[in-house]
Amino acid sequence: MGIFGSHGLELIIVLVVALLVFGPKKLPEMGSAIGKSIKEFKNGVNEITKPKEEEEVQTRQSATESARLELEAIERELAAKKAALAAEEAARPEVKTTPNVD
């Protein structure tokens, strides 16, 4: 088993038949045309899938941004409640307790 596995012989037969049918002058042109077609196909597939990936990234970014904003709002609310509690505690008169001696 070489580079082509068990299909090496089949590949050689196809290349010999193509050489006989199209001739040695036409074969490089056909190979080039096939190569360009494959390259254009890959580019087309990439163009189709790329916008989808970009949309997913934008969706994740907007979800992260909204979660960050929600967290900031909760932190502000918590800070306000802590400040109100501290003000309430400061306004209470201190009650001194004396130990009970019986």
Q: pLDDT digit string (tens) for 53-96?
A: 778 888 899 999 999 999 999 999 999 999 999 998 888 877 66
* Domain residue spans of the chain: 63-89
Q: How far, in Å, CA of 6 to CA of 9, rounded?
A: 7
CB 40 within 8 A of CB 34: no
**pLDDT for 14 beyond 60:** yes
Q: pLDDT over 90 for what percent of the chain? A: 31
Indicate whether this model's pTM tops 0.75.
no
Between 44 and 39, name the one with better pLDDT: 39
SS3 71: helix
Place of tokens 């096939």: 34
Q: How far, in Å, CA of 76 to CA of 80, rounded?
A: 6
What one-character DSSP code corresponds to residue 5? B
Task: Identify the pLDDT of residue 63.
Answer: 92
